[in-house]
């Protein structure tokens, strides 16, 4: 990949970045987890974050009755909308 962008090494790639801005230590990231562990982790976080709150998902998002317009109303609306 480096060859494709014209770099001989990773150091050539980062050469334009001044030394004082480069990170000279490993990143502090947690160890990798299996997919099942990640799913469990987020389920636990969701359970702890949502404790004591009511769920209103979908409140009001259901089918409502809307009457069908009569032919007369549709014609009147069409004729009034023309320039």
Residue 67 lies in a domain: yes
Sole residue written with tokens 């001989």: 8
Q: Is residue 15, in this structure, part of any structural domain at all?
A: no
Which pLDDT score, from 0 to 100, does residue 83 have? 60
**Within a domain: 71:** yes
Distances (CA, A) of 39 to 42, 45, 47, 50: 5, 10, 12, 16
CA 22, chain centre distance (Å): 30
Query: Which residues span the domain enclosing 60?
Result: 55-83
| Cβ atoms of 7 and 13 closer than 8 Å | yes
7 within a domain of the structure (yes/no):
no
Number of domains observed in the structure of the chain: 1
Q: Using a cut of 0.75, tell me whether the model's pTM lies above it.
A: no
Backbone angles phi and psi of 14, in degrees to 5 = -95, 5
Residue 18 lies in a domain: no
Retrieve residue 53's tokens: 């709150």
From CA 67, how far away is CA 54, in angstroms rounded?
A: 33
Name the band, by pLDDT with cuts 50, 70 and 90, for residue 30.
Answer: confident
Structure-block tokens of residue 61: 């998002």
Let me know: does 14 contact 22? Beta carbons within 8 Å. yes
Give per-residue pLDDT as tens, 47-70. 887 666 666 666 666 666 666 777
């Amino acid at each position: 990949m480096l060859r494709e962008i014209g770099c001989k090494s990773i150091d050539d790639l980062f050469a334009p970045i001044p030394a004082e801005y480069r990170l000279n230590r490993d990143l502090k990231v947690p160890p990798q987890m299996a997919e099942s562990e990640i799913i469990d982790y987020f389920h636990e976080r969701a359970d702890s974050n949502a404790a004591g709150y009511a769920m209103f998902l979908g409140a009001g998002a259901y089918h409502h009755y809307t009457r069908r317009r009569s032919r007369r109303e549709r014609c009147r609306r069409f004729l009034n909308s023309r320039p």
